[in-house]
Structure 1
Amino acid sequence: MRSNNLLVIANNFPNEDNSYVAGIFVKEQIKYLKNYFQTVYVISPVPYGMESLRKTTYRDYQYENVKVFFPKYFNVLFFYTRLRSIWVYFEIKAMLEVIEREGIDFDLIHAHFTWPSGAVAVKLKKYFNVPLIITEHTSNTFQRSIDKKDKMFINTWKMCDAIMRVRQKDIFLFEYIGITKNKVFHIPNGFNHSSFFLYDTFECRKRLNLPKNKKIILNVGNLYSEVKGHKYLIEAINIIVKNRKDILCVVVGSGKLESNLRGQIANLELEDHIKLVGSKPHGDISLWINACDVFVLPSLNEGNPTVMFECLGCGKPFIGTKVGGIPEVIVSNDYGLLVEPGNAQDLAEKIEIALNKNWDEGNILNYAKQYRWENITSQMVTIYDELCSRNSNLKSA
């Protein structure tokens, strides 16, 4: 596919220095996809005012054969649920201006998330007569769209050429709403093994000023929503410290819930055992993972969390809840442990088991190889090739 160009549409994409990391998994994926294309174009529309809200600045940038654009467009929250056609109209208008101004030519489109990126991409597919692939990442939003038989989601899926779903067990649900099964593919998330690999634990602790004589439990995730389950992690630590004092739980991330979580920690007098260290650059997350003894993600809902693959790529055991695609990856107690969501007692027990277990790092690393981005993207490119070949035949017929 080296002679072809790919257009990626994502309503969240990191800025040039990755100081804003939402959508970082798309950028990591593109690091490997770009090797299959002459040029990869990324268009990530940004509503006016969003830069102030996100406390970041978006400027177009380029690296190697990847060109990233952040066109601004008018939007209000009301359009998100009530007047979605107006939302699509303004996004399309902004994107077409970029495509025309930059002379962007592409052979296929890959949109991340059905709404709004997929809905916008359907219009571009019609306009440019190229294949469209949509990756659906969400958990709650996806299930809600299925349960309510949301016309916008269903029509978008029917009009695209292929759907990539990060969770395998959901594929049969597409059939339930009339989407033919042969256009739906299970493609999980992955990790960049050049960034996430096994490194000396104590060297990482030294660099991060973390204690050498503690068992370290790590959590990485934003503090914007209770769906990440941080309060249950704090409750679990409170249970554990009644029996042992040699643990330190480190939470990497920031958000509006930070003050509430600090209050919970203070009320339980856990300041010596739980540290909220704020957000860290994505390039440093590997250090934090390698510094820990066990990684914990107590989410109430998930799709296919990238940090799970990054954890395994560093040879660390992963404790996660039985939600989303997590049970499809943590298929053995050799790689981690599964917990009932919202159950602090179960979480505490599994953390204790993990801290006392002698984990085989080599076994975890070997298992993680299948989730390296180069392996995941090669599966994606096979689908791309088939769609482009089919589209070329239709045009020449």
Structure 2
Amino acid sequence: MKLKNLLVISSDFPDKNNTYVGNIFVKEQIKYIKNYFENVYVISPLAYGMEKFRNTSYEDYEFDNIKVYFPKYLNVPLFYFYGRNFWVSLEMNSVLKLIRKENIHFDLIHAHFTWPSGAVAVELNKYFNVPVVITEHTSTTFQKSIDNKDEIFINTWKKCDAIIRVRQRDISLFEDVGISKNKIFHIPNGFNNSTFFQYETFECRNKLNLPENKKIILNVGNLYSEVKGHKYLIEAINEIVKHREDILCVIVGGGKLEPNIRKQINDLGLENHVTLVGSKPHGDIPLWMNACDVFVLPSLNEGNPTVMFECLGCRKPFIGTKVGGVPDVIASDDYGLLAEPENAEDLAEKIETALNKNWDEGKIANYAEQYRWDNIASQIVNIYYEHCPTNYNL
């Protein structure tokens, strides 16, 4: 039986054509959760000026039984440090105004990230008295909230009905700040298996004008923050090319760090071994993944990176760092290898090992099945059914 109406709150969300892909994993998840509901409403509040900051523009849109809204509200970054309750109030009021204007009815709220969406959701619930589920995706922010015993985070967790954490080892940390483990559930992110699956490698390389006679190392990630570890990836490539010439590292993504990364490549004389191809539409990423030999994500910290699951769905080995939820998924050398973060030598060693290894692609594919979005969505909906008090008949 279908549930009635779901309200999703997310502080970032892709535009209609996925030319902007912030929190694309939320959109991909909803594509499967929608099958359990009559209607799904997505609200992604935008502070004035955010469109310019993100270099994109938003218009409300809908597809299938999903309607997406981007209400605007006044906010300034200083509120995060000196007026977070005021921030929540401003954002909550913009959401409330939209709900009333559009006459939106819903029976359940699912907020992605505790701050600010979860905090907004539990305040909004004072008006609607429906269950609230929060998925906490962050790594550093989450750990800081635990270490500092952040009142807004803790109060938000106490007021909601269920918490989904993408990293299993963090469940006990919630208990350390007084949150009952009975309301906390581990569900990782996933991937769209109708998009991310195995294509013929050389056909993909031909379409992308990539060489057939090179070992291709792929990285996909925005170049906005040093936390993604591109510096160490390039240093690792510099180590590898000292004794082999048959590699090409392709970095897909754009952002403010691109000039710095390009300078590092030029300073090390790696122009023939590292190429920046800029941002690509999300729908093109499967081609790039299937064109590579190994995928590398050298992050300094992570939550539960979607590209990891997409990589496995394409039957490619994943080379990552021992951060966030990555070790939970790459729990065996059958699926990939893990390096120490901020350690270019270790990363270079793991990349070389991966390039020289005969990977069992069938084993990787079988392992990836559990992370398909349809399987993940089913687990989430089970939480809706079993752990949230409801005002309607299931």
TM-score (norm 2): 0.98
Question: What aligned pairs does 1:279-358 form with structure 2 within 5 A after superposition?
Answer: 279-358=279-358
- The letter of the residue matching 2:20 is Y
Aligned to 2:123: 123
Native 8 Å contact 2:130 2:391 kept in 1 = no
Native 8 Å contact 1:113 1:138 kept in 2 = yes
In structure 1, distance between residues paired with 2:30 and 2:256: 30
Native 8 Å contact 1:236 1:348 kept in 2 = yes
- For these two proteins, the number of residue pairs brought into alignment is 393
Aligned to 2:266: 266
Unmatched segments (≥5 aa) in structure 2: none
Native 8 Å contact 2:139 2:301 kept in 1 = yes
Native 8 Å contact 2:205 2:212 kept in 1 = yes
Question: What aligned pairs does 1:360-379 form with structure 2 within 5 A after superposition?
Answer: 360-379=360-379
Aligned to 2:35: 35
Q: Does 1:21 align with 2:21?
A: yes
Aligned to 2:45: 45
Question: What aligned pairs does 1:59-98 form with structure 2 within 5 A after superposition?
Answer: 59-98=59-98
Aligned to 1:244: 244
- The letter of the residue matching 2:136 is E
Aligned to 2:391: 392
Question: How far off its partner does 1:377 sit?
Answer: 0.6
- The letter of the residue matching 2:288 is W
Aligned to 1:190: 190
Question: What aligned pairs does 1:125-164 form with structure 2 within 5 A after superposition?
Answer: 125-164=125-164
In structure 2, distance between residues paired with 1:282 and 1:215: 23
Which 10-residue stretch deviates more, 101-110 or 379-388?
379-388
Which 10-residue stretch deviates more, 9-18 or 79-88?
79-88
Q: Deviations over 1:304-335 (max 9, x none)?
A: 00000000000000000000010000011110
Question: How far off its partner does 1:90 sit?
Answer: 1.2
Q: Deviations over 1:153-179 (max 9, x none)?
A: 000000000000000000000000000
Native 8 Å contact 1:9 1:109 kept in 2 = yes
In structure 2, distance between residues paired with 1:188 and 1:226: 24
In structure 2, distance between residues paired with 1:279 and 1:31: 23
In structure 2, distance between residues paired with 1:298 and 1:52: 29
- The letter of the residue matching 1:202 is F
Does the residue aligned with 1:31 lie in a helix, a strand or coil? helix
Question: How far off its partner does 1:126 sit?
Answer: 1.8
Native 8 Å contact 2:107 2:391 kept in 1 = no
Q: Deviations over 1:50-94 (max 9, x none)?
A: 111111111000001000000000000011221011111111111
Q: Deviations over 1:203-234 (max 9, x none)?
A: 00000010000000000011111111100000
In structure 1, distance between residues paired with 2:285 and 2:3: 35
- The letter of the residue matching 1:47 is A
- The letter of the residue matching 1:67 is K
Does the residue aligned with 2:369 lie in a helix, a strand or coil? helix
In structure 2, distance between residues paired with 1:169 and 1:53: 34
Question: How far off its partner does 1:392 sit?
Answer: 3.2
Q: Does 1:221 align with 2:218?
A: no
Question: How far off its partner does 1:387 sit?
Answer: 3.8
- The letter of the residue matching 2:64 is E
In structure 1, distance between residues paired with 2:23 and 2:347: 28
Question: How far off its partner does 1:101 sit?
Answer: 1.1
Aligned to 1:275: 275
Which 10-residue stretch deviates more, 227-236 or 93-102?
93-102
Native 8 Å contact 1:14 1:22 kept in 2 = yes
CA RMSD in angstroms comes to 1.0
- The letter of the residue matching 1:145 is S
In structure 2, distance between residues paired with 1:50 and 1:300: 26
Native 8 Å contact 1:6 1:108 kept in 2 = yes
- The letter of the residue matching 2:291 is A
Does the residue aligned with 1:260 lie in a helix, a strand or coil? helix
Moved over 4 A (4+): none
Does the residue aligned with 1:92 lie in a helix, a strand or coil? helix
Question: How far off its partner does 1:274 sit?
Answer: 0.1
Question: How far off its partner does 1:127 sit?
Answer: 1.2
- The letter of the residue matching 2:271 is E
In structure 2, distance between residues paired with 1:55 and 1:182: 42
In structure 2, distance between residues paired with 1:62 and 1:391: 26
In structure 2, distance between residues paired with 1:290 and 1:126: 48
In structure 2, distance between residues paired with 1:19 and 1:81: 31
Does the residue aligned with 2:111 lie in a helix, a strand or coil? strand
Does the residue aligned with 2:391 lie in a helix, a strand or coil? helix
In structure 2, distance between residues paired with 1:64 and 1:336: 36
Q: Deviations over 1:8-28 (max 9, x none)?
A: 000100010111100100000
Aligned to 2:381: 381
Native 8 Å contact 1:131 1:387 kept in 2 = no
- The letter of the residue matching 2:42 is V
Does the residue aligned with 2:390 lie in a helix, a strand or coil? helix
Question: How far off its partner does 1:98 sit?
Answer: 1.0
